[in-house]
Structure 1
Amino acid sequence: MKKIVIKVQLKSEKCRTKALKIAANAKGVSSVSIKVETEQVEVIGDGVDVVKLARSLMKKLSFATIVSVAEVITTGEETPANPIQWASNNIHHPQFPMHYDDRYYGRRF
């Protein structure tokens, strides 16, 4: 896992959104964060092409500089997240067939 820090110009909320989308769509990225005070995008991932990411940020935001690339060292084993058990999607569909009485509704065929 690598931690990549890239300095970009974050003039507005639109620029921040663009930077976040570009970094999140890059191949191998696992997390993205933006530090607004220092105007830096922090990307953590495995197998991320740093130069390609910086070029794509430069194309959209007109300025991007690679500040640092470092290996991330994990100290302990991470526990996998438990998936949320959602209710069945068949809530609105009855499990029994609908049967109408022809005498009451009349024959429409």
Structure 2
Amino acid sequence: MKQKVVIKVSMNGQKSRSKALKKVVGIQGVEAAALQGQDKIEVTGESMDVIGLTTSLRKSVGYAELVSVTPVGEKKEGDKKDGGGGGGGGGKKSETPVPIVWPYPPYVTSVPEYYMYPVREYDNNCSIM
């Protein structure tokens, strides 16, 4: 579910504003972030941890207060069908899935052969004594 979050943050200068925006954008699930006035940040995203977002802002910038969390209304197809008039072309619009592009290669779960070293058997005799 997409949601819009407004957080009040104490930002004294340009440095703290950019630090707060960098922190917000780095959180998983955040799609957009914008400044509202001098002391508010508006964050839009899907399935993001709002409490974790506020806590991380408190740790990095300073005072942060959660002002509002509201769901974002998405376009409904029922609104188009109910609007009477106009004529023509009432077919369904095919929705093709958008491909997901990952910015980094996936994590390697297996160890390549050239990282494996042979295990050597050592005697229990200590060479120092």
Q: Is this a same-fold pair by TM over 0.5? A: yes
Task: Find the residue that maps to 1:75 and give its secondary structure.
Answer: coil
Distance (whole Å) between structure 2 residues aligned to residue 40 and residue 52 of structure 1: 17
Distance (whole Å) between structure 1 residues aligned to residue 14 and residue 6 of structure 2: 19
By how many angstroms is 1:36 displaced?
2.9
Which residue in the other structure is 2:30 paired with? 29
Larger helix proportion of the pair: 1
**What letter is aligned with 1:47?**
S
Unaligned runs of at least 5 residues, structure 2: 78-129
TM-score (normalizing by structure 1): 0.66
Aligned residues of 1:10 and 1:36 also touching (Cα < 8 A): no
1:77-105 CA-partner distances (Å, limit 9, x unpaired): 8xxxxxxxxxxxxxxxxxxxxxxxxxxxx
1:6-46 CA-partner distances (Å, limit 9, x unpaired): 00011000010011001100010000001133x10110000
Which residue in the other structure is 1:83 paired with? none
Aligned residues of 1:30 and 1:44 also touching (Cα < 8 A): yes
Distance (whole Å) between structure 2 residues aligned to residue 50 and residue 70 of structure 1: 11
Which residue in the other structure is 1:18 paired with? 19
By how many angstroms is 1:49 displaced?
0.2
Unaligned runs of at least 5 residues, structure 1: 78-109
Structure 1 runs, 4 residues or longer, greater than 3 Å off: none
Q: How many residues align?
A: 78
Which residue in the other structure is 1:69 paired with? 69
Identical aligned residues as a percent: 37
Distance (whole Å) between structure 2 residues aligned to residue 34 and residue 19 of structure 1: 10
By how many angstroms is 1:61 displaced?
1.2
